[in-house]
Structure 1
Amino acid sequence: MLVDIYNRAKKLHIETDVRRVVYIIETNRDKEGNELEKVRSIFEGKNKDFVTAVDEKNIIVVKEVDDSDSGADLNKTAEVILGLFKGDSDIHIAYGTVVGEIKEVSRSYKEARMALDVGKIFFEERNIIAYSALGIGRLIYQLPLPLCKMFIKEIFGGKSPDDFDEETLTTINKFFENSLNVSETSRQLYIHRNTLVYRLDKLQKSTGLDLRVFEDAITFKIALMVVKYMKYMETLDY
């Protein structure tokens, strides 16, 4: 209860109206088991920051931040923590948004928790992910699976983006990376511009979506993300 939060904070001499952010560090703690002490070593002497283990895999840091701290500063803290685990690719760090009162710390934790999960689906190449960087991924993550299946069926009929060959998928991803720029995409793929146009025309015939049209491109991008989310959720079921 809210009153308990403030009474407990007063008893423990914890300031209530201070800017804080929550970090979650997911570790592979079945090895040495000294990850908690490693993380605590960074924050030694800083009695306004709190470090604790949530369960066998997750450590949280509730860090006090200054008014001048930017998103880059928050990310720098995450990088310092990550530096403790050099060579360990199993480490994932996520953090929520900065909150102004102690009652909102739980919100920052929930955001960090979501960032950790969503990051594994859409940003698997990153060890550090911020809630603010999730974009549309955090909306897709909250969609019920039946709705996702219905959406994919409406867009692709009986097909799935997984049915496309490697060349087509590479072309699509590179086209999105280059903000739908035909010239730059063909240059990076080392193909003639006309070859790229031919591939896009072929894709339009099979799906009814022209990736050179912004609205179609958005639909296609969302569909790819939805399929990725569905596949991830299926692995959890197993």
Structure 2
Amino acid sequence: MLKKLHHLYAQSLLSSTTPDFRKYEHYYWFYSDTESDWLGIPKNELAHKELTILKTLYHLYDPSSRTTLQQSWYDFLFSNGELPYQTSNEPIRLIHFKMKKMDWEKEDVESALKNFFIANIFIVWVDELEGVILEKLGEHSSTKSNLSSLLSNLESDLFIRMSIYVGKPHEVDATLPNHFLQERKWFKEGLHALPSERIFNFEKVFPFILVEQMSHELKQHLLANFSLFNEDRELLKTIRIFIECSFNVSLTAKKMYIHRNTLQYRIERFTEKTGINLKDYHQVSTVYFACLLFSQDD
């Protein structure tokens, strides 16, 4: 689609790699999650209505919407720019975030985030709905419980629905952009595989990546060994959620809107038909991969 748009705007630029934005300050740059190209259109070629439409279809990169320091960080993370500043040996953690399109102001989001984090943070916006928080790690670093509270407060107080990916600790050096782009990719994988989830990390996303990369032969063996799931999709959903809820019966029943006794009956039926003990690590790991594989069709 971007290639077709390229032909509509005479002075537009199409790039298969991330452009050096510093050379094109008078361009709007568009990209999508499904295409590898970037499309740059001179600002004077776009009417306000056209810009509004394109912003609903694609992510917009506009250098003029960022402060100098934010722009420096964006260039560093996305387009081989120089490290914005020298720091001590303190590692940082990248917390990627994405929000639903709702009625809110960017300043309110930034204020809420900065008030929540005790440690120093810096926010880099990728576009109008996505960004990354650079959090210095230390004794006041946020925990999963803290972050869960943050997301709940944002939704109840500001009506902002946000999902986040919590990255690993990294040094602030020349390797950071690679870590940033990799974590950003895993975040997208997680959002696609678990759209109802709010907090992601590598451990949560990895099983889905592994299933995606399985050989065809291995997938067929796994499907054949758990054909029961193909016959009973409700049982598939039950076992998957039960495992994802860490075998918590009450939480699983609540998520599925069923009675505890109904859940217990389904689990016992699964054990009777397969002979699998869901308390055994090796068996339950295999079952979960089978659940993910069968769920790809849902």
For the criterion TM > 0.5, the same-fold answer is yes
The answer to whether structure 1 residue 140 and structure 2 residue 208 are counterparts is yes
Amino acid at match of 1:50: F
Q: Any gaps of 5 or more consecutive residues in structure 1?
A: 205-209, 233-238
Identity of matched residues, %: 11
* Equivalent position of 1:161 in the other structure: 229
Alpha carbons 1:17, 1:102 under 8 Å: kept: no
* Equivalent position of 1:21 in the other structure: 93
Q: How far off is 1:219 after superposition?
A: 1.8
Distance 2:171 2:120 in 1: 14
Q: How far off is 1:223 after superposition?
A: 1.0
Matches within 5 A, 1:99-118: 99-110=170-181, 112-118=183-189
Alpha carbons 1:21, 1:105 under 8 Å: kept: no
Distance 1:32 1:79 in 2: 21
Distance 2:87 2:185 in 1: 26
* Equivalent position of 2:288 in the other structure: 221
Name the SS for the 1:225 alignment partner.
helix
Distance 2:154 2:220 in 1: 45
Distance 2:220 2:163 in 1: 33
Matches within 5 A, 1:43-192: 43=114, 49-66=121-138, 68-69=139-140, 72=143, 76=146, 79-80=149-150, 83-86=153-156, 88=159, 90-110=161-181, 112-120=183-191, 123-131=194-202, 133-134=203-204, 137-144=205-212, 147=215, 149-157=216-224, 159=227, 161-166=229-234, 168-169=235-236, 172-173=239-240, 176=243, 189-190=260-261
Q: How far off is 1:58 after superposition?
A: 0.8
CA distance 1:118–1:7, shift in 2 (3 Å): closer
* Equivalent position of 2:67 in the other structure: none
CA distance 1:112–1:26, shift in 2 (3 Å): same
| Structure with a larger share of its residues in strand | 2
Q: How far off is 1:98 after superposition?
A: 1.4
- Which protein has greater RCO, CA pairs closer than 8 Å, 6+ apart? 1
Q: How far off is 1:211 after superposition?
A: 1.4
In the superposition, the TM-score normalised over structure 2's length comes to 0.51
Distance 2:152 2:266 in 1: 43
Distance 2:152 2:190 in 1: 16
Distance 2:271 2:151 in 1: 44
Alpha carbons 1:19, 1:99 under 8 Å: kept: yes
Distance 2:109 2:221 in 1: 48
Distance 1:48 1:194 in 2: 50
Q: Any gaps of 5 or more consecutive residues in structure 2?
A: 1-74, 254-258
Q: How far off is 1:107 after superposition?
A: 4.6
Alpha carbons 1:180, 1:211 under 8 Å: kept: no
C-alpha RMSD of the superposition: 4.4
Alpha carbons 1:95, 1:130 under 8 Å: kept: yes
Distance 1:164 1:126 in 2: 24
Name the SS for the 1:102 alignment partner.
coil
In the superposition, the TM-score normalised over structure 1's length comes to 0.62
Alpha carbons 2:151, 2:162 under 8 Å: kept: no
Distance 1:28 1:175 in 2: 28
Distance 1:88 1:194 in 2: 39
Distance 2:130 2:231 in 1: 37
